[in-house]
Structure 1
Amino acid sequence: MDTTVAGVGSVVVAELRAAGYMESTVGQYRKSIRALRCFAEGRGGSYTPSLGAAFAALTISPRTGRFSAQRSFDYRRLVGVFDAYVRTGRVDLSCRKRGGGGARPASGEFTALATAWDTDTDDRGLAPATRDAYGRVARAYLVFLESRGIRCLGDADGASVLRFLESLSGRWATSSLFWVVSNFRPFLKFTGRNDLVDAAGLAVVRRSHTILPVLPDEVERLVVHACATPAISARDAAITLLAMTTGLRACDIINLRLADIDWRARTASLVQQKTHNPLTVPLTDLLVGRLADYVLDERSDSSDDHVFLRRVAPYTRLSDHASIHRVITTVFGKAGVTDVKAGTRLLRHNAASRLLRAAVPLPTISAVLGHASLESTDLYLSVDEDRLLDCVLDVPDGTRS
């Protein structure tokens, strides 16, 4: 096997073209390969994982002198492909999650602790998104400790937890810090350090209960009309209509498989990723029609049996909820709706609120949305103005204000 950067690079480029990648993407890979070749000069010329790690760490743009997100992404992507090739002899073009899971600790104890935590969350069968969130914040804390010269958890104190959370305030919205603490606390309990758990409880972080609005009838009409026209691709129309009419979570839309669709009964049956509960939802005529258009005419020929696939190589399922959000935002924009921050969360709340206004009982709404508890559905009572007005008591005559 030719393990020189040039040799591996030529194999990678050939595989990219064979897999149907766009020339613009191939060009980005070739640009990174040229940079790697220059970096490897004077270092033997052969590619090794350690060489790749050093190359991927070159995240500062020589032009601006600042961190370059595009440079970091391109270099890390190339190194991942090169590493897989020298390890297995095969070019692995499978998609990787954005961000790469964040920074990772370097010290032996912290690396072992992070690995043990990942193993524990995996053994407990937690959802992939939950494991990723738990692991990301745990590693961020360990990296934070290392930046303060701490290499042993025994040397960390409760103040380090508060300083860590304070360091995130510049990058996280105040409303989002609640979820950081929620994802952080299980790791602290895993370490057995009750003092660190108590310190996390001292952080003044409150959960935000935002009441999302219901889409006006005119907005729904515009979106549905656009989804019925050729202006919207069949895939994007089906995804948007599925989210709008069923209230499915983004993760469940991504994981939907061809075998889950009952075309005769016009239903989709699945096991929800978040609750692990089975769910069957009805499909409207327009949704079934656009879904059929996509499967028969648009969908790429792929061994991946997920319903919704990427439009460009590799033709695999959509990567994460950001992909679904991007699709829905694009559809709303083409429908002429630009003043609504669209996404599955909004459409999920909208579907629930519409059902509630149609006098559908809460237990039924809870079942349709796949809530594990009826309490989760109670939030939608806050947007049912008509029923809330029914609860208002008349003020007796003569009562002073």
Structure 2
Amino acid sequence: MGNVRLPQHSFTNWLDVGPLAPHVDAFVQYRADRGYAKNSFATYVRSIDHFAQWIHRRRVDVCRIDESVLAEFLNEHLPSCRCDGVVQRHRPSLSAALGHLLVVLRARGVITPPVVSKAPVSEELRQYDEYMDHVRGLAPKTRESALRIVGRFLTSRFGDYVIDIPMVRPEHVRRFFAQEAKLYSKPASAGAVVAALRGYFRYRASLGDLVHGLIGALSYPANWQLASLPRTLTTEEVERLIGSLGQAGRCPMRRTAIVRCALDLGLRSGEVARLGLDDIDWRAGTITLRHTKGRREDVLPLPSTTGAAIAAYLKDERPKTRNRAVFVRHVAPRGEPAGPDLVRKTIRQAYARAGLPYTGSHLLRHTMANRLLACGSSLKEVADVLRHRSLNTTLIYAKLDSRKLVEVALPWPGSPS
């Protein structure tokens, strides 16, 4: 099997003589290229060995393997498995390994791509997603959230049957909202359901459907956006956080650079994850943000402390990889871009190391805005740095600007003027 040796087990014959034998080399190379650890690799090999034994006994042709075959193996065979040898029976490990097997088999053209559902609801959601993307210009996360809500609504009304919007009544919409609202801990959070349904009905109106009564069937829950103060780190907490960045642990340089990007530049977790090597102009001292929440490119000055943290990570800790992302994974799949979840996890771990009782990564963005105000920046300047489209979004930080609030505060009743 090339230059890659499989772990030696007494039950690996199925990988040599079973129906998957011609594709084992490709699977091994696929895993090796992504830098999986030896123990993880051995687990995946045992998982594929188990699956190979099962499809041989069931006489399943390799070309017929798809998600439904995997589901049958995991849901029907695994609970009552009597296969020979010390086979892998841990469902999460099997599911992960077989998911990668499908990727390899499809890349080699052995099996067909996944079938796109042509069910009425699925097709309707596909078309609506295209509308939100190309006409309204909504970000992927926003579209994904809206599609989940609209999909549940359409499924509850029509199931697998053809969608007939004129059959939808306002009471159907209100009843669905009442059920969905139970999923949210705060009433104001249920506003996402209202926004998703209204957006969908406006889309149907653009197609000529008479849905104006449906658009007005729901109102947004009461939500006073400026009623609370944005949470920020105190000066002492910022110092504790920065002081803890040099502590030993896994990927300390990456942790320092990520926290610096969020604290010094006010970047969102997704923006940190999407930073590319080509986005940094070291000579000009600038950084370009692409594919932001506002769907535009923004150029920001790169503070020296942030640039030094990124440079140290790139020089001394970042794994060798052809990927052009600044922050990449250090464990399998090694060298692949670090996603927003990894960025948020890194910031949570930084809080924990500093002994701070926080978990939200967006807290650093609020802290950065507060620090700008404390240094004398105007709300317009804060809005520009945070890249807010509307100054109204930045108004919540006005309540943190104690320097300006002192000038307009009225004397306390009964106190000397």
Q: Give the shorter-chain TM-score range.
A: 0.7 to 0.9
Cα distance change on mapping 1:299 and 1:143 into 2, 3 Å:
farther
Most deviating of 151-160 and 242-251: 151-160
Most deviating of 149-158 and 369-378: 149-158
Q: Secondary structure at the match of 2:299?
A: strand
TM alignment of 1:228-377, pairs within 5 A? 228-231=246-249, 233-271=252-290, 273-314=292-333, 315-319=335-339, 321-337=340-356, 339-343=357-361, 345-377=362-394
CA distance in 2: counterparts of 1:144 and 1:43, whole angstroms: 37
TM alignment of 1:41-52, pairs within 5 A? 43-47=58-62, 51-52=66-67
Q: Secondary structure at the match of 1:241?
A: helix
Correspondence 1:380 to 2:397: yes
CA distance in 1: counterparts of 2:93 and 2:406, whole angstroms: 52
Q: How far did residue 212 of structure 1 move? A: 2.4
- Kindly indicate whether the alpha-carbon contact (under 8 Å) linking 1:261 and 1:268 is maintained by their aligned counterparts in 2: yes
CA distance in 1: counterparts of 2:355 and 2:168, whole angstroms: 53
- Kindly indicate whether the alpha-carbon contact (under 8 Å) linking 2:344 and 2:360 is maintained by their aligned counterparts in 1: yes
Larger Rg: 2
- Structure 1 gaps of 5+ residues are 64-69, 92-103
- Kindly indicate whether the alpha-carbon contact (under 8 Å) linking 2:285 and 2:301 is maintained by their aligned counterparts in 1: yes
Percent of aligned positions that are identical: 24
Cα distance change on mapping 1:86 and 1:157 into 2, 3 Å:
farther
- Kindly indicate whether the alpha-carbon contact (under 8 Å) linking 2:257 and 2:306 is maintained by their aligned counterparts in 1: yes
CA distance in 2: counterparts of 1:157 and 1:37, whole angstroms: 52
Cα distance change on mapping 1:151 and 1:49 into 2, 3 Å:
farther
Q: How far did residue 6 of structure 1 move? A: 6.1
TM alignment of 1:89-128, pairs within 5 A? 89=108, 108-124=119-135, 125-128=137-140
Given residue 345 of structure 2, which amino acid in structure 1 is its aligned partner?
R
Cα distance change on mapping 1:254 and 1:40 into 2, 3 Å:
same
Partner residue in 1 for 2:177: 165
Q: How far did residue 328 of structure 1 move? A: 0.4
Q: CA RMSD in A?
A: 3.6
Partner residue in 1 for 2:203: 190
Q: Secondary structure at the match of 2:360?
A: coil
- Kindly indicate whether the alpha-carbon contact (under 8 Å) linking 1:242 and 1:248 is maintained by their aligned counterparts in 2: yes
- Kindly indicate whether the alpha-carbon contact (under 8 Å) linking 1:332 and 1:342 is maintained by their aligned counterparts in 2: no
| Aligned positions, number | 374
Cα distance change on mapping 1:395 and 1:299 into 2, 3 Å:
closer
Q: How far did residue 342 of structure 1 move? A: 3.4
- Structure 2 gaps of 5+ residues are 1-16, 81-89, 206-210
Q: Secondary structure at the match of 2:216?
A: helix
Equivalent of 1:17 in 16, 32, 38: 32
- Kindly indicate whether the alpha-carbon contact (under 8 Å) linking 2:19 and 2:56 is maintained by their aligned counterparts in 1: no
Equivalent of 1:212 in 226, 230, 248: 230
CA distance in 2: counterparts of 1:33 and 1:166, whole angstroms: 46
- Kindly indicate whether the alpha-carbon contact (under 8 Å) linking 2:117 and 2:123 is maintained by their aligned counterparts in 1: no
CA distance in 1: counterparts of 2:47 and 2:173, whole angstroms: 38
Q: Residue by residue, what CA displacement relative to the aligned partner does 1:171-225 show, whole Å, maximum 9, x if unpaired?
A: 43324322343234322322333343333x2464647655322211111111111
Given residue 310 of structure 2, which amino acid in structure 1 is its aligned partner?
L
Q: Secondary structure at the match of 1:196?
A: helix
Given residue 134 of structure 2, which amino acid in structure 1 is its aligned partner?
D
Q: How far did residue 364 of structure 1 move? A: 1.2
- Kindly indicate whether the alpha-carbon contact (under 8 Å) linking 2:232 and 2:370 is maintained by their aligned counterparts in 1: yes
Q: If the length of structure 2 is used for normalisation, what is the TM-score?
A: 0.76
Q: How far did residue 242 of structure 1 move? A: 1.0
